[in-house]
Amino acid sequence: MDRIDRQILDLLQQDAERPMAEIAETVGLSKTPCWRRIKALEAAGYIRRRVALLDRDRLNLGVTAFVAIRAARHDADWLRRFHEAVAPMPEVTEFYRMSGDVDYLLRVVVPDIPAYDAFYRRLIGRIELTDVSSSFAMEEIKNTTALPLSYARAR
pLDDT value at position 73? 87
Whether 129 contacts 72, CB under 8 Å: yes
DSSP 3-state assignment of 47?
Answer: coil
Q: Which domains does the chain have, with CATH numbers?
A: 3-52 (1.10.10.10), 63-136 (3.30.70.920)
State pTM to two decimals: 0.86
The CA–CA distances, whole Å, from 75 to 9, 78, 81, 125, 130 equal 39, 6, 10, 19, 14
DSSP 3-state assignment of 68?
Answer: strand
How many CB atoms neighbour CB 117 within 10 A?
12
* Residues of the chain where predicted confidence (pLDDT) is lower than 50: none
Q: CB within 8 A of 10, min separation 6: which ones?
A: 146, 149
pLDDT value at position 155? 60
